Copies of this chain bind each other. A is one copy, B any other.
Amino acid sequence: LKANFCSDNVAPIAAEILSAIVEANADDAVSYGEDAITLRLRNVASEIFEKEVAIFPVVSGTAANGLALSQIAAPFSGIYCHEFAHIVTDECGAPELFTAGAKLLPLRSPDGILKPSQVSDAVALAQDMGVHHVPPAAISITQATEWGTVYSLDQVNDLAELARRHGLRIHMDGARFANALVHLGCTPAQATWKSGVDVLCLGATKNGAMGAEAVVFFDPVLARDFEFRRKRAGQLLSKMRFVSAQLLAYLTHDLWLSLATHSNAMATLMAEGLAAIAGARLLHKVQANEVFVALPDSTVAHLQTQGFGFYRWPVSAVAPLTAIRLMTSFDTTVQEVRDFLQSAGEANHVQRV
């Protein structure tokens, strides 16, 4: 059986997190998040972010994003985001469900990173159109981005300053926040509220949890009534302690960082190996755990035949090459990466001979 690089969510549960679930199963506990574990999670999160935060565990990133956006964007408003943001292309309309129809206003950029000037232009246009255009309410950024790149602190800051000038909020889709954090080498606080982020969707599932995400508001006032939204969305689990236990283990003893460090390292190893293959072309900087590479179609076909798991990616600009996405996770091994690179190299060699 060959390695599966389709996504980081094909991975199992990290051992420490599974243990935490088992340990949480000792006895009866108050339901709906009034339990001791959830309470401890709140304290730990506030310590980690160096600030009293309002943290709401949920079980899916799609729900986390939709709910977070519903808190900062009225049903009649607009949300700027990248045209390939997960909330645009991969959540089957969830933001529209949870926000009751707020409009995602897609912007373009080659590397997945929004620039203040393009948001600024879009705001000017919206203002010009007055009541006919949805009034913009928020900017949603993905950290790490859908292209595996990472916003620098300055880039986040610049967007946040622009946002403040126009009364917009900053939402960060942090499905792979730990991967970005490890790349940035800064504190969680620096990566978020100190750079102007209002609400973070903190992913854990893709980085070792079973099914646990959290919506984190850095200003508790902004979280007002959010518990009703979560409940209404079916995301307030009765046995919430088991979700909180996952997040608590994740954030304890830097587990999230060590898992992400490994995952990122595997992506880097993969990228370096691919770069050494003649004819291969890396499409984006590898700053987290995703590698986008263009290869001859015969090489791609060979790798698939060999049984490696990955997706062909719709990037028409690389023709006649074929783009693929490779994603590493906390349980990817060096051997798996080497096997893949060897197969890729062989295929390429054969083709060229």
Contacts and interface: CB of A to CB of B under 8 A. Distances in A.
Contacts of A11: 28
A133 B89 CA distance: 6
A225 B167 CA distance: 13
B232 A9 contact: no
Interface string A156-174: 0000000000000000000
A134 interface: yes
B21 A210 contact: yes
Interface in A1-17: 3-4, 6-7, 9-13
A229 B22 CA distance: 32
Main secondary structure of the interface of A (DSSP, over half): loop
A112 interface: no
Interface stretch (A93-101, A141-149, A176-184, A287-295): A93-101
> How many of these chains are in the complex?
4
Interface string A65-95: 0100000001111100000000001111110
Given A29-B10, A63-B234, A131 B96 contact: no
A281 B260 CA distance: 56
A12 B27 contact: yes
A59 interface: yes
A31 B7 contact: yes
Given A59-B59, A132-B231, A239-B13, A93 B66 contact: no
Given A75-B75, A103-B104, A205-B237, 17 more contacts: A7-B31, A13-B25, A32-B132, A60-B237, A63-B233, A63-B234, A75-B100, A76-B228, A90-B133, A92-B232, A93-B103, A94-B234, A131-B231, A135-B225, A205-B238, A211-B237, A234-B235
Interface of A: 3-4, 6-7, 9-13, 18, 21-22, 25-32, 58-64, 66, 74-78, 89-94, 96-98, 100-104, 106, 125, 128-129, 131-135, 205-206, 210-211, 225, 227-229, 231-239, 242-243, 314, 331
